[in-house]
Structure 1
Amino acid sequence: MKRRSFLTTAGAGGVAALTGCLGDGGATTADEGTTTTGGTTASETGTTTGTAGGETPELVVATYGAFVDAPSTSPGPWLKDAFESEFDATIRYETPDSEVNYYIERAARGVDIPSDLYVGLDVNMLIRIDENLDAPLFAPVDGLERRDTVKESLEFDPQGRAVPYDTGYICLVFDETFGDGDFSAPATFDGLLEDQFAGDLLTQNPVSSATGKAFLLHTVAAKGRDGFLDYWQGLKENDVRVLEDWSTSYTAYSNGEAPMVVSYSTDQVYAHDSGEDLAKHQLRFLNDQGYANPEGMAMFEGTDRPELARTFMDFVLRPDVQAEIAVRNVQYPATTTAELPESFAKYAQEPPEAVTFNYDTLRDNLSEWTSAWERQFVGN
């Protein structure tokens, strides 16, 4: 499949700035940097016309590994089967280790982009793209039948490239059985600095983790631009543990290494469905707030399958599909039309107040905030 090359020149520090995210910073071939999940033959009852030569069209969807790596629970395999059963097309997933950074670097080097869509985009990734590339990586999306069902509060791309499909709220998850069996997380950010909670919090690196970045941004919102670094110094002195990513930190939490972890307000949904003790999955919205972190999907500029890509995006916004993705991804749906099962509605919790920064604020400040955090927290 031929695609238009991206003859893009990165800014002065563009590729260099990505080196930390990509490991060795070198170019990665599709075979070396991605894992591919192949498509199966579409059902003959599909409703979308194939190619003129009779070939079944293939849509290459880039995403993060967890979206596809557990066939029984991840949304990706179910979504692929459901789409292929209705449309004369196949889905093939690409899951590069460095996620969206893989495509940023390819575009910066003028290398072809091997995918049609990206699923799992957030506002921080969009800003990273816009900071490092002079030409668009994704195209604005129009003509979606269900676009107006997306909750307006979740829109995070002023250029219309990213279409939200789910959202999470970042909060604390704590184990009330920890220690003597009567542990309770503090109600406020200031409470985390108290001596009684020394060494009790696990969080994630905001430079490398979306969850960690959301928690950092929540501390900026709570303590102000001039106060968040002092707050983090207090957390450091109270022995907070900052691990590389959500999976690592949650595994440590599950193994009883600490009674609190930064995670998602849908944690009890997964715990209930897995038959776990909900006492070990209690939620705390610090300052009665949760940081909103919606995910979106976007179409690569230069895709050979723009109509098929739009069909897939509209399919993802369909009420039954929205509900299924929410349950499997353990996140809230992005639309107003999804019909969630009773267990999800019972155990998922929304914060009394949702907090987030808009694209413009993050574009102008995110790099400075994360760099300042890294200099102080890691450098000292």
Structure 2
Amino acid sequence: MTPRTRTGARGAALAGVTALALTACSAVGGDDASAGPSAGADTVTLVTHESFALTEGLLEQFEQDSGLSVEVVQQADSGALANQLVLTKDAPLGDVVYGLDTTFATRALDEGVVVPADVTAPAAEDAAAYAVEGDDDGALVAVDYSDVCMNVDTAWFAERGVPEPSTLESLLDPAYRDLVVVPDPVTSSPGLAFLLATVGAFGEDGWLDYWTGLRENGLAVADGWSEAYYTDFTAGGGDGPRPVVLSYASSPPFTVPDGGTEPTTRALLDTCFRQVEYAGVLAGADNPEGAAQLIDFLLSDDVQADLPGSMYVYPVSTAVELPAEWARWAPLAEQPFEVPAADVDAHREEWLTQWSDAVVG
């Protein structure tokens, strides 16, 4: 198993350019979540992405303890989620959102789709360390985070006696021609995160030249993370041809073979961009009090401890321990590349268009 089945749709599609249709949704405690939030203080509607999953019983325990019935409305990805929240802000799809990530958080704030909430969970203090720049009211509350990084098939390189790459620059070496695959940043959240990593690494004047170099060195671009990892990557189970793939710092623990003692892959921690996922109460929510309770639930020790195993992300809470295999095989980047949130918001579509023209043509 590898971190979340993040399909190509789990990312951004030139935000704001095209209105996205509502996707199918699932419900806990309701028959038709597609109709939007249910009236009544005993129901709270969570709007989230398709990768939302908790260990069976956790959400049900929250319902039992709180007396609330939780309906879950799922969008395809963080980009679709942000777009739909903006398009429906005058008639919100629910009460609370979870899953807006670093690449789209500022858009939600600028459009006023979330409002501050009375979040009381102790982990809220830890979450404050990941606050969105400029969100002085704390309308978005960090729940989890992950590092998007290049991963290598260590066994492939060892068998051939080829040194593994280690940095972004090293991927331009002819020794790695035709060995690298990344998901399309236009259609993939991790793909967009990697584009931002290159902006952070090479600046606004150099990142596009870097991508041109990757293209000239035989870069492959997949529609999404799943295709890149499971089809093109040599260690993804599909006998792919490329031993370098964009994935997550949390990917290696899931490549320890049955009966083995260590992973067959490694994350390149000098290539990473940190993604944070946020929750917030939707403006105009029918049940803002229930929404705040649900955010407290997401920050509870039980859920925070569950996140690595259920959604393969790092909890923001410092009160819970990571699984032993994560502590050993999934270290985070000490200095992930960064791009100011305001710059992401101002240039996201411009950068995606420039990338498409230069890399896809």
Give the match's secondary structure for 2:99.
Answer: strand
Closer/same/farther in 2, CA of residues 234 and 277 from structure 1, 3 Å limit: farther
CA contact 1:56–1:90 (8 Å) conserved in 2: no
Describe how 1:106-145 pairs up with structure 2 within 5 A: 107-108=86-87, 112-129=91-108, 133=111, 136-145=112-121
1:361 aligns with 2:343: yes
Q: CA RMSD in A?
A: 3.0
Describe how 1:37-48 pairs up with structure 2 within 5 A: 37-39=27-29
Describe how 1:1-380 pairs up with structure 2 within 5 A: 18-20=16-18, 25=19, 28=21, 33-39=23-29, 57-68=42-53, 75=54, 77-97=56-76, 101=80, 104-105=83-84, 107-108=86-87, 112-129=91-108, 133=111, 136-146=112-122, 148-159=124-135, 160-178=138-156, 180-252=159-231, 253=233, 254=236, 255-257=238-240, 258-272=242-256, 278-285=262-269, 288-379=270-361
Q: Judge which range, 103-112 or 314-323, deviates more.
A: 103-112
Pairwise CA distance, 1:18: 3.3
**Whole-Å separation in 1 of the counterparts to 2:48 and 2:323:** 26
Closer/same/farther in 2, CA of residues 64 and 210 from structure 1, 3 Å limit: same
* 1:30-74 Cα deviation digits (max 9, x unpaired): 5xx22223328xxxxxxxxxx9x9x88222111111223xxxxxx
Letter in 2 for 1:38: V
Closer/same/farther in 2, CA of residues 66 and 143 from structure 1, 3 Å limit: closer
Give the match's secondary structure for 2:213.
Answer: helix
Give the match's secondary structure for 2:187.
Answer: coil
**Whole-Å separation in 1 of the counterparts to 2:161 and 2:154:** 6
**Whole-Å separation in 1 of the counterparts to 2:104 and 2:333:** 24
Pairwise CA distance, 1:186: 0.8
Which stretches in structure 1 are left out of the alignment for 5+ residues?
1-14, 41-50, 69-74
Q: TM-score, normalised by structure 1?
A: 0.78
Letter in 2 for 1:62: V
Letter in 2 for 1:18: G
Closer/same/farther in 2, CA of residues 151 and 129 from structure 1, 3 Å limit: closer
Which stretches in structure 2 are left out of the alignment for 5+ residues?
1-12, 31-37
Q: Which has the higher contact order (CA 8 A, sep 6+)?
A: 2
Q: Judge which range, 55-64 or 166-175, deviates more.
A: 55-64
Letter in 2 for 1:176: T
Give the match's secondary structure for 2:289.
Answer: helix
Closer/same/farther in 2, CA of residues 188 and 102 from structure 1, 3 Å limit: closer
Counterpart in the other structure of 2:10: none
Closer/same/farther in 2, CA of residues 67 and 102 from structure 1, 3 Å limit: closer
CA contact 2:86–2:108 (8 Å) conserved in 1: no
Letter in 2 for 1:262: L
**Whole-Å separation in 2 of the counterparts to 1:265 and 1:176:** 14
CA contact 2:179–2:243 (8 Å) conserved in 1: yes
Letter in 1 for 2:247: S
Q: What is the percent sequence identity of the aligned residues?
A: 24
CA contact 1:145–1:314 (8 Å) conserved in 2: yes
**Whole-Å separation in 1 of the counterparts to 2:60 and 2:162:** 44
Give the match's secondary structure for 1:354.
Answer: coil
**Whole-Å separation in 2 of the counterparts to 1:192 and 1:360:** 29
* 1:206-242 Cα deviation digits (max 9, x unpaired): 1221111111111112112111111100100111111
Give the match's secondary structure for 2:343.
Answer: helix
Q: TM-score, normalised by structure 2?
A: 0.82
**Whole-Å separation in 2 of the counterparts to 1:333 and 1:273:** 25
**Whole-Å separation in 1 of the counterparts to 2:259 and 2:187:** 31
Letter in 2 for 1:35: C
CA contact 1:176–1:182 (8 Å) conserved in 2: no
